[in-house]
Amino acid sequence: MVDSSFDLDSELSSLPKEKWLGDDYLFQLGGFWHLPQAIHVNRVINQFQPLPSDIISASFPEAGTSWLKALLYSIINRSSKHRLTVENPHSLIPILEVRKLCLDRPKYAHFLTYEELKNDPKNHVKNLAEFLGCPFEGEDVEAQVQDIVNGCSFEVLSNREVNKAGGFPSRIAFIPSNSFFRKGFVGDYEEHMSAEVVEKIDALIKEKFHSFGFIYRV
């Protein structure tokens, strides 16, 4: 629940600003410079009062976010999952862009990596449904799960017309819908990083996040 009386223009007028790109300005808040929409997000977060039924999806960009959103929407809204044929997953689940929380309070947080989801999508879809409080039921559970896995697959989503054309306007640039769908496989890092760099990253992750149960392979 968020205070709907928040006036972004009034808020921006009270903050220091500097010229950025084109006609855009950056605004200073909390010692940092932000785009206008970030000011709004910051205020929303500060005012946000979560309800027990709220679901917050948090993921790194280019790490299966579109796929996860499609799965979440399909699991929760099974009777209307056909909307994914005409709407981008990001339109259906707006962007609000931790492991320790998942370990300490597993009832309230579910941790999932892209690699795990790619390796065993059916079981992870079942686990997500259980976590969300809407488990699959009936004699055709496997068929229900497979239907969602198929409908939210990279091949299906990336080839839908709604995800090949159009996009999302922003203050910085127009974001094409197809930019949310890249290659859809694990291991693309090998095209951009040497084995030595990968080893260094793995070692750093192991050092910093070993106690949280992270895997140590990029």
Q: What is the pTM of this model?
A: 0.59
Q: Tell which wins on pLDDT, 8 or 3.
A: 8
d(CA 161, CA 86): 8
Tell me what pLDDT residue 97 has: 45
Confidence tier at 142 by pLDDT (50, 70, 90): very high
Residue spans of the domains in the chain: they are 8-47, 65-180, 187-218
**Which residues, in sequence order, are CB contacts of 164 under 8 Å at separation 6+?**
158, 177, 178
d(CA 216, CA 210): 9
Query: For the chain, what percent of residues have pLDDT higher than 90?
Result: 11
Whether the CA torsion 63, 64, 69, 75 is positive or negative: it is negative
Q: Tell which wins on pLDDT, 168 or 151.
A: 151
Tell me what pLDDT residue 31 has: 79
> From the centroid of its chain, how far is CA 164?
19
Q: Tell which wins on pLDDT, 127 or 44.
A: 127
**Which residues, in sequence order, are CB contacts of 203 under 8 Å at separation 6+?**
216
Mean pLDDT of the chain: 78
d(CA 215, CA 206): 8
**Number of residues that this document lists for the chain:** 218
Question: Which tens digit of pLDDT belongs to each residue from 62-101?
Answer: 677 888 888 888 888 888 888 888 888 887 776 544 645 5
Tell me what pLDDT residue 125 has: 92
Question: Which tens digit of pLDDT belongs to each residue from 54-64?
Answer: 777 777 666 77
Q: Tell which wins on pLDDT, 1 or 156.
A: 156
Average pLDDT over residues 6-21: 78
* CB contact at 8 A, 133 and 108: no
Tell me what pLDDT residue 87 has: 83
